[in-house]
A and B are shown apart, each in its own frame.
Chain A
Amino acid sequence: MTRAPGAARRARLLLLPPYLWLLVFFCLPCLIAFKISLAEQLIAQPPYGPLIDFGDAGRMQIRATLEHYRFLLADDLYWRALLGSVRIAGVSALLCLLLGYPMAYAITRAPRVWRLPLLMAVVLPFWTSFLLRVYAWMGLLGRDGLVNQLLQWSGLSDTPLVLLRTEAAVYLGIVYAYLPFMVLPLYANLEKHDRSLLAAAADLGATPLRAFLTVTLPLSLPGISAGLALVFIPALGEFVIPDLLGGPDTLMLGKVLWDEFFGNRAWPLAAAVATAMLLLVAAAVAVRACVERMLRPS
């Protein structure tokens, strides 16, 4: 390192604001939630007991309990919600991959002048509120929604179909909402590929399909992994889409958390669900980091 020590110090100074931000608005709330998850449930305002208590004689007492975590593990509602979340987020991520890969690939192959407009079109939905877009799907999928009207008008169906409040509607909503998070990292990866590699593969006897499978696909694994993570992680805690588009049997952690917190006012239990979910996401990120390290040429 030949950089002046002053420059290094200034560079570190630049890192300070974002980390301070994360500390105050991410780490502290997480710690607070964790603290609440260890407290006792009370019928009071706020509905949980203090962690540290100075009892009658002024002696310090720590009142921590793992009871809420034990409850999480014991009641199969939370297991089913967890499984539901993982399944819905996982399937959605795969659906996004199946849809997003050809899209990203096609954009990199489009004439140069078209690439930016096509990418803008992918990001365009972000210009409208997320909530509004989910409500729009309710309008489309409802009993008298546009889709049902079209089906009946065209004679494909005599009676209105139940589209809303189904798991299919949840998949549709999640894929719709998170598709750009798949397309963008894939595009960033595919766009960097050296075209002469495909020419070399063809020259060495590979059909176009073989060349794709043996060259393009393995080289795009980091993009695939990034896209899957960017869809899977937020979809795991998704609350709005299953709540608005899902049916009563759509069980996801985000919805359970909402119900515990606002419906049952069980703050410590809700905090335990939140902490468990955070650990789950952290595990997913760690798995991805490991896969990433294995894929990277050593």
Chain B
Amino acid sequence: MTDPEAGALAVSGLSKRYGAETAVDDLTLDVHAGEVLCLLGASGCGKSTLLRLIAGLETPDAGSISLDGQELAGTPPHLRAINMMFQSYALFPHLSVAGNVAYGLKREGLARAEIRRRVHDALSMVRLDGLDARKPHQLSGGQRQRVALARALVKRPRVLLLDEPLGALDRQLRETTQLELKRLQRELGITFVIVTHDQDEAMMLGDRIGIMERGRLVQIGPAREVYEKPANRFVAEFLGAANILAGTVRAGGADRVEIALNAGPLTLSAPRSAPCADGAPVWLAVRPEHVSLASGDAPGPAWNTLSGTLMQSVYTGASWVHHISLADDTVVRAMSRSGQAPPAPRSAVTVGWPIDCTTVLTS
């Protein structure tokens, strides 16, 4: 349907300020043609502003945006081969479903028959056949979402920007809609840039995930890479849960570093990843699902172990999540399968995890 090479977006040195506030701060980003990139960040991190800048609805203070090598500065939004699905959907309340979807095609000056055919195709693509004559206020939230999607896709953009596309849907609908979005994207081959604050959604939809914090892109990469090798504490804690332990580099071998924990006279090991000098302050990150309650003997030399007091165990269905308090009141979360009964609260426990699952973070 679309040229597989079309839809590559290059953002470089982009900045946008509102008064004293910097919404987007010297941001550089490459979106490959035909990929799904999820921009993940807390509200107010500038991800929606970035989308509006790409769509041309805002003017950047600095930097450039180009689509397939063509600079977009100075091109007004109505002339960009980029379409956006708005968070509020922004459906025209006075137009029918068909009128909403046809709106963009009419602006292109297409023939009536062509418009009718493409509107029909777009509506059946999002499975809204037969609802042409309804007005937006007569639709459910999920239907409205699909009208917004059809209205943007019918223009056959090279890049589709989606601002919290599933934010207004309830959980169950969200999951089926995620699959639907993925199917559509694969069929059409259009580049998707999706903004979301929901990490599960980002992991599920994105070929790559970009983590944004205060107007900057902190890390970008495939979901697995970002999850397993977070660039800093913010990414580790934002994407999934993480135990963060502060410490100081004691000594290091070729592939291992020894770190003295601030929490007590304890030394843990981690694979050497980032370059870190002896005596430098660092943080250790380990995912709760890698931390288990050690029973009896030490699990082995390839493990890190810690002792503490079990504060509480929370049943989450698939597993138990244990909260263990260390000597300095740092809380470490560990997990165990839900089949086993947890130890009694307030009992002394030892937790452990494989050294290879430990990440050293320098910031």
A-side interface residues toward B, CB under 8 Å? Answer: 194, 196-197, 199-207, 210, 214-215, 218-219, 297-298
Task: List B residues at the A interface (Cβ < 8 Å).
Answer: 52, 55-57, 76-79, 82-84, 86, 88, 90-94, 103-104, 107-108, 135, 137, 151-152, 155
Complex Cα spacing A197 to B84, Å: 12
Most chain B beta-carbon contacts within 10 A, residue among A203, A205, A206, A298: A203
19 A–B contact pairs at CB < 8 A?
A199-B55, A199-B86, A200-B84, A200-B86, A200-B92, A201-B92, A202-B78, A203-B55, A203-B57, A203-B82, A203-B83, A204-B83, A204-B103, A204-B107, A204-B151, A205-B79, A205-B104, A205-B108, A218-B94
Most central of B86, B108, B135 by chain A CB within 10 Å: B86
Measured between C-beta atoms, what is the minimum distance from A295 to chain B in Å?
8
Closest CB in chain B relative to A195 CB, distance in Å: 9
B276 to chain A, nearest CB (A): 46
A214 proximity list for chain B (CB < 8 A)? 103
Taking the nearest CB of chain A, how far is it from the CB of B119, in angstroms?
13
Whole-angstrom distance from the CB of A112 to the nearest CB of chain B?
14
Please give the distance in Å from A214's CB to the nearest CB on chain B.
Answer: 7
Residues in A with CB closer than 8 Å to B86 are: 196, 199-200
**Residues of A with C-beta under 8 A to B93:** 219, 297
Tell me whether A200 and B78 are in contact (CB under 8 A): no
Query: By the criterion CB–CB under 8 Å, are B90 and A200 in contact?
Result: yes
Instruction: Note all chain B residues with C-beta closer than 8 A to A205.
Output: 78-79, 104, 107-108, 155
If over half of A's interface residues share one DSSP class (helix, strand or loop), that class is named, otherwise mixed; here it is helix
B137→A204 contact, CB < 8 A: no
Contact A298–B135 (Cβ < 8 Å): yes
Give every chain B residue within 8 A of A199 (Cβ-Cβ). Answer: 52, 55, 57, 77, 84, 86, 90
The answer to whether B84 and A203 touch across the interface, beta carbons within 8 angstroms, is yes
Asked whether A202 lies within 8 Å of B76 as measured between CB atoms, the reply is: yes
The reply to whether A196 and B77 contact each other, CB–CB distance below 8 Å, is: no
Q: Who on chain A is nearest to B104 by CB?
A: A204
Instruction: Give min CB distance, A34 to chain B, whole Å.
Output: 42
Per CB-CB distance, the 7 closest pairs between chain A and chain B, nearest first, are A204-B104, A205-B107, A200-B90, A196-B90, A202-B77, A205-B78, A297-B135
**A218–B96 alpha-carbon span in the complex (Å):** 13
Given contacts A210-B107, A218-B94, A297-B93, contact A194 B88 (CB under 8 A): yes
